[in-house]
Amino acid sequence: MLECKLNSTPLVRPDIAEAAKYRDQYGAQHAIMVANAYAAEKETLDECRAHAVSLWTVTDLLRLLELGANAVEVRPLFAPGFAADALADLEWSRAHGPRKRLTVICDALLATAWSAQAAAADFHASCRDIRLAVQVVRVANRTAQRESTMANDGDLAKIFQLLDVLAVESVAHRQETAALAREVTNYRKDTIDLRKEIVEHRRETALGFERVGRHSGRLETRIESLETGVASLHAEVRNFRGEFERRVAPLER
């Protein structure tokens, strides 16, 4: 819930309860009051804590925009009290707290993860490369811990747990990649065998056409021979008819 106040001077003893009046009714998680400025009074802070209201100024909103905070960073800023204090904590954390430590760690992690990913792209690379990459990140994290005056063993322990999970997942990914490589190899073999079958089929087809061509030539030769014989027989018939007519003609007279 959001309660806005139009005041030109610091707001003295604002009605904090008004900001939280409808929070439960509308199922809101936070209650916020925004004003130009507030008078720094202990009673105001106590009332904020009693009604769980966060007090913001226009200047606080501008600082939040300049910081470019994300949703995870903004949520703690809605805690009861003056938002200026929470914003100061956020700025300090970015400059000196876990955020700075993790920035060094993440830089090393990104650089090493790229090397691990490049190694994973090679089907014949050993899984030892992934484990070695994780060890390199561990060394980088320990270095960052030594160099940071605000080092926190708990934060790095969580990161190490994540790196262990990454190592296991990387090995599993490598095994899946190797299995996929074997499938690709088998597919290539099957493709080569199929191409050989196609070549053999084409060769047999060509031989079939060649045999058909030879038989076709023989058949054409035989047909020509038969046609010649038929023509010769027709000629003999004509000659016989002529000779027959020549001999029968005198007898008819």
Per-residue model confidence as pLDDT tens digits over 13-50: 888 888 888 888 888 888 989 988 888 778 888 888 88
Q: Are 10 and 39 in contact (CB under 8 A)?
A: yes
pTM of the full predicted structure?
A: 0.42
Q: What is the average pLDDT score of the chain?
A: 77
pLDDT of residue 13: 80
* pLDDT tens column, 122-131: 555 444 455 5
Place of tokens 């966060």: 54
| Nearest of 33, 27, 58 to residue 47 by alpha carbon | 33
User: What number is the average pLDDT over the span 2-15?
Assistant: 82
Mean pLDDT of 102-113: 69
pLDDT in tens, 65-103: 988 888 888 888 999 989 889 999 888 877 776 666 666
> So what's the pLDDT on residue 38?
86
Tens digit of each residue's pLDDT (9 = 90 or more) over 164-214: 666 666 667 777 878 888 888 888 888 898 889 999 988 888 888 888 888
Report the C-alpha gap between 155 and 99 in whole angstroms.
11
Q: What is the pLDDT of residue 150?
A: 42
